[in-house]
Amino acid sequence: MNLIEHRKLKSLFARNKAWAKGMTDKNPDFFNHLSKQQSPNYLWIGCADSRVPANQVVDLDPGEVFVHRNIANVVVHSDLNCLSVLQFAVEVLRVKHIIVCGHYGCGGVKAALDGKKHGLIDNWLGHIKDIYRLHKQEIDAKPTKEEKIDLLCEKNVIEQVSNVCHTTIVQDAWSTNQDLSVHGWIYSINNGLLKELDTKVCDSKMFRHMHSLND
């Protein structure tokens, strides 16, 4: 590592110190209180993209949102990492809302559509390609490449909301009337704003109804 890079990295510790001081200046008990417990209301499942940091875009402090991020915010039924986060959030933390948040211009979605080879990640992007095949006609009808990508970004969020609802974890929670809803949101990198997609699911009855409409 050259000297400049080394200094940049070191500066992160200085920034961390200043941040921690700022937090305790505002609330002297902040870290002491958090160290004893976390009780977030929200589970955020988002893209790993550095431009979509969960806490910052909804202006929440540490302790307020439990977060899982991966490339293109995908919820796969065999992904033990994501499922473990989901289980802990629902069964132990008892979050009230699960938010699947995609974003326009997602690099993962773009890569799934470009027809090129990207190596290992193509196995992951296969999940996005499956969603494209489901909505091929509607997506292909969009005039520009950007619009095709953005529509697939939205379809992906809707599909992942459905995947979350299908898990045994969420199904079990609903079967015991646990207060839990699942939401699909999308974020615009170019203006910093979130938009709610029409996918909110509050219980298994609502889920079955939506699902029968989609079938």
How does DSSP assign 166-213, residue by residue?
HSHHHHHHHHTT---EEEEEEE-TTT--EEE-S--B-SHHHHHHHHHH
Q: Is 106 part of the annotated catalytic residue set?
A: yes
Q: Tell me the two tokens of residue 15.
A: 């920034």
Between residues 149 and 173, which has the closer beta carbon with respect to Co ion?
Answer: 149
State in angstroms the smallest separation of the CB of 14 from Co ion: 30
Residue 111 binds to Co ion (criterion: CB under 5 A): no
Cα–Cα dist 150/134, whole Å = 15
Give residue 13's identity as a one-letter amino acid code. Answer: F
Q: Is 114 part of the annotated catalytic residue set?
A: no
The interface with Co ion within residues 28-57 (CB under 5 A) comprises 47, 49
Q: Is 47 part of the annotated catalytic residue set?
A: yes
* Count of C-beta atoms within a 10 Å radius of residue 63: 16
Residue 106 binds to Co ion (criterion: CB under 5 A): yes
State in angstroms the smallest separation of the CB of 103 from Co ion: 6
Residue 203 binds to Co ion (criterion: CB under 5 A): no
Q: Is 103 part of the annotated catalytic residue set?
A: yes
Bridge partners of 45, per DSSP, are: 68, 100
Catalytic residue among 82, 101, 106, 165: 106
Name the site residues for Co ion (rule: CB under 5 A). Answer: 47, 49, 106
Q: Which residues are marked as active site?
A: 47, 49, 51, 103, 106
